[in-house]
């Protein structure tokens, strides 16, 4: 606890005396609020994880996470808004909080919460008697997410987070609070023969009240038009302003890329399998076959080319094929074909960035990720890829901003972003934050070896040698074959000093490099 007072804006915090003053007048704030505010101010602009804040506020006592949420809410109420109308304390979904006070540099300011309308699209409930039709309902919802994500005036939560509620009975207000959004779209779909019935309902996440609802009874061939109608209605109800380019491209933005139902069906089946819980060489082969069938049905359809390219890129990385190098070459050819067929689809550009990352082609990696984000500013995977590009290029502050925005857009699928966010803080020299983030990632993915390797390096840099060696021991239990040369040593850090920093942390702890 600080023994000196801290001045910020009109406030003076004296944690030693346990007082908070606004322009000399006392502000009612409990002891835990004082401790939490002191912890946030000590690392102004940095993320403090929930674990760190609970340690600061409760000092070793075991308490429920909800206690922290209550104290942060009371703290925000006591502080009121900043002079510019924003909040002093920003939420980083699923991770923790950060203090956004005056004096932050521009890189930190870029991650302040935006005042745009925010939306989560929940998976549509499949009312079909055939359980295998769920992929179709999921595909319709995801298409709506994709359409709306391309609009710069709207924040849309990524599919991987909103689909975490699939099959669950949840209160709209709970979903909105968990995902940090104001509006939630839900609904159902029934597919029967050549007929389709879709029900869509837009709700206010703060009150749970319905804003708009509509049902559509159409022929199956009209489903693309229904997706567009739903997207248009949401834009109208939320009063989203389109910029001139978006207004001109709106029909293109909502295009599914094909009018061939069989091609679309094969693509949806393949995509559902590609995102399943089980991923291995056999699943890769079956997924690839479905994407190839989609291409056979409609050779002009860009999406399956890109999806097949991504599948091959993952097969390369996971060594699911006998010749990984050949798979990566084929991935590059296919994604080029996808871009040739639809240069305005952000997904192929994102896949091209992924393939370029594996090729260590930094120039194309940068170009493709920027194009993907120009076409879809809400595309969390591309934000993550740009964050990795910045991280490996020696620009950790830019990487931190990208990763935090990716987490904002995809809060329930943040474990991989957490890893890269931790590494970016390491490169930026913010070791305490890096250690906390990497620990959080290990809690989410207990069998990770790479996060443990970086954490051991960070602890070494903090001169916590015993802790570093303990983490390395855990790493070897998870993966006895791990080596620095085949792990971190393979990462494409362009600044030699960054790699040397990581090595020095391990060496200081007496660990192998």
- The pLDDT of 265-283, averaged and rounded, is 91
Least confident piece of the model among 109-118, 125-134, 163-172, 271-280: 109-118
Q: What is the pLDDT of residue 469?
A: 97
pLDDT over threshold 80, residue 106: no
Give the tens place of pLDDT for each residue, 373-382: 999 999 999 9
Rounded to 5 degrees, what are φ and ψ at 219? -70, 150
Same domain, 176 and 87: no
The listed range with the strongest mean pLDDT (41-55, 70-84, 303-317, 407-421) is: 303-317
Same domain, 36 and 59: yes
Same domain, 177 and 136: yes
Same domain, 89 and 204: no
- The pLDDT of 155-182, averaged and rounded, is 89
Same domain, 144 and 72: no
Same domain, 103 and 204: no
Same domain, 38 and 94: yes
Query: Is the residue at 264 inside a domain?
Result: no
Q: What is the pLDDT of residue 244?
A: 81
pTM for the complete prediction? 0.76
267 token code pair: 């693509």
Q: What is the pLDDT of residue 38?
A: 92
Same domain, 431 and 492: yes
Give the tens place of pLDDT for each residue, 194-247: 889 999 999 999 889 999 999 999 998 888 888 888 988 999 899 888 888 887
Query: Is the residue at 246 inside a domain?
Result: yes
pLDDT over threshold 50, residue 103: no
Query: Is the residue at 379 inside a domain?
Result: no
Report the distance separating Cα 230 and Cα 253, nearest Å: 13
Q: How much of the chain is in helix, strand and coil states, percent to nearest 5?
A: 60, 10, 30
CB-count exposure of residue 446 (10 Å: 0-12, 13-18, 19+): exposed
**C-beta of residue 410 within 8 angstroms of C-beta of residue 160:** yes
Report the distance separating Cα 122 and Cα 164, nearest Å: 9
Same domain, 171 and 91: no
Query: Is the residue at 39 inside a domain?
Result: yes
Q: What is the pLDDT of residue 188?
A: 94
Strand partners, 126: 189
Same domain, 91 and 142: no
Report the distance separating Cα 393 and Cα 444, nearest Å: 27
Last-in-domain residue among 49, 80, 109: 109
pLDDT over threshold 80, residue 300: yes
Which of 134, 237, 233 has the alpha carbon at shortest distance from 188?
134
Neighbours of 416 (CB within 10 A): 19
Query: Is the residue at 384 inside a domain?
Result: no
Query: Is the residue at 435 inside a domain?
Result: yes
The CATH number linked to 125 is: 3.40.50.10610
Sign of CA dihedral 230, 232, 236, 239: positive
334 token code pair: 């296919």
Q: How confident is the model at residue 114 (pLDDT cuts 50, 70, 90)?
A: very low
Q: Could you tell me what percent of the chain has a pLDDT over 90?
A: 56
Angle at 216 between CA 212 and CA 217, to 5 degrees: 160
Q: What is the pLDDT of residue 87?
A: 80
Q: What is the pLDDT of residue 113?
A: 39
Query: Is the residue at 263 inside a domain?
Result: no
| Cα distances (angstroms) measured from residue 316 to each of 185, 280, 284, 355 | 37, 12, 11, 10
Parent domain of 216: 118-255
Q: How confident is the model at residue 338 (pLDDT cuts 50, 70, 90)?
A: very high
**C-beta of residue 489 within 8 angstroms of C-beta of residue 454:** no
Same domain, 129 and 248: yes
The CATH number linked to 92 is: 1.10.10.10
pLDDT over threshold 70, residue 105: no
Q: What is the pLDDT of residue 255?
A: 55
Report the distance separating Cα 212 and Cα 198, nearest Å: 14
The CATH number linked to 499 is: 1.25.40.10
Domains in the chain, number: 3
Give the tens place of pLDDT for each residue, 357-369: 999 999 999 999 9
Give the tens place of pLDDT for each residue, 9-20: 889 998 888 899
Last-in-domain residue among 255, 288, 323: 255
Instruction: Determine the number of helices (DSSP H) and then strands (DSSP E) in the chain.
Output: 22, 13
Give the tens place of pLDDT for each residue, 395-414: 999 999 999 899 888 887 77
Give the tens place of pLDDT for each residue, 459-479: 999 999 999 999 999 999 999
Query: Is the residue at 217 inside a domain?
Result: yes
**How, if at all, do strands 155-156 and 118-121 pair?**
parallel
Q: What is the pLDDT of residue 406?
A: 92
Rounded to 5 degrees, what are φ and ψ at 251? -60, -35
Report the distance separating Cα 457 and Cα 472, nearest Å: 9
pLDDT over threshold 60, residue 112: no
Same domain, 137 and 227: yes
Q: Could you tell me what percent of the chain has a pLDDT over 70?
A: 94
| Cα distances (angstroms) measured from residue 125 to each of 76, 128, 165 | 37, 9, 11
Q: Round the CA-based radius of gyration of the chain to a whole number and report it.
A: 24
Give the tens place of pLDDT for each residue, 420-448: 999 999 999 999 989 989 998 998 889 99
Last-in-domain residue among 255, 285, 306: 255
């Amino acid at each position: 606890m600080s023994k000196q007072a801290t001045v910020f804006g009109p406030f003076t915090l004296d944690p030693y005396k346990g007082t908070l003053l606004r322009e000399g007048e006392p502000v009612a704030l409990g002891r835990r609020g004082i401790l939490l505010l002191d912890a946030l101010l000590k690392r102004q602009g940095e993320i403090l994880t929930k674990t760190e804040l609970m340690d600061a506020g409760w000092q070793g006592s075991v308490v429920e996470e909800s206690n922290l949420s209550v104290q942060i809410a009371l703290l925000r109420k006591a502080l009121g808004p900043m002079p510019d109308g924003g909040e002093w304390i920003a939420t980083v979904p699923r991770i923790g909080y950060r203090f956004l006070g005056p004096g932050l540099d521009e890189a930190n300011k870029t991650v302040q919460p935006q005042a745009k309308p925010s939306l989560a699209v929940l998976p549509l409930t499949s009312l079909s008697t055939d359980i295998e039709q769920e992929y179709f309902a999921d595909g319709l919802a995801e298409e709506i997410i994709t359409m709306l994500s391309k609009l710069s005036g709207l924040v849309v939560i990524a599919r991987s987070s909103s689909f975490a509620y699939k099959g669950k009975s949840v209160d709209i207000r709970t979903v909105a609070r968990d995902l940090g959004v104001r509006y939630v779209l839900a609904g159902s779909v029934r597919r029967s023969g050549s007929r389709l019935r879709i029900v869509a309902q837009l709700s206010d996440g703060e009150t749970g009240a319905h804003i708009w609802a509509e049902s559509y009874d159409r022929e199956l061939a009209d489903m693309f038009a229904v997706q567009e109608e739903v997207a248009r209605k949401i834009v109208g109800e939320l009063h989203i302003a389109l910029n001139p380019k978006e207004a001109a491209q709106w029909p293109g933005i909502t295009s599914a890329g094909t009018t061939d139902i069989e091609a679309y069906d094969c693509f949806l089946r393949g995509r559902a399998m590609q995102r399943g819980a089980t991923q291995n060489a056999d699943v890769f082969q079956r997924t690839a076959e479905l994407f190839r069938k989609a291409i056979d049905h409609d050779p002009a359809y860009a999406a399956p080319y890109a999806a097949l390219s991504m599948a091959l890129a993952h097969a390369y990385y996971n060594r699911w094929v006998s010749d990984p190098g050949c798979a990566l070459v084929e991935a590059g050819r296919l994604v080029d074909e996808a871009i040739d067929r639809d240069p305005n689809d952000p997904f192929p550009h994102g896949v091209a960035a992924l393939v370029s990352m594996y090729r260590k082609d930094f120039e194309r990696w940068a170009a493709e990720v920027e194009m993907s984000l120009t076409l879809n500013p809400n595309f969390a995977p591309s934000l993550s890829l740009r964050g990795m590009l910045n991280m490996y290029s020696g620009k950790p502050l830019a990487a931190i901003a990208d990763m935090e925005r990716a987490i904002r857009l995809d809060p329930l699928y943040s474990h991989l972003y957490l890893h890269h966010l931790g590494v970016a803080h390491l490169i930026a020299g913010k070791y305490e934050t890096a250690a906390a983030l990497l620990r959080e990632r290990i809690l989410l993915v207990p069998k990770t070896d790479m996060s443990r390797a970086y954490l051991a390096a960070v602890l070494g840099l903090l001169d916590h040698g015993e802790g570093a060696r303990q983490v390395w021991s855990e790493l070897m239990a998870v993966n006895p074959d791990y080596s620095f040369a085949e792990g971190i040593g393979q990462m494409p850090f362009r600044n030699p000093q960054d790699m040397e920093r990581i090595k020095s942390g391990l060496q200081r702890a007496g660990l192998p490099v």
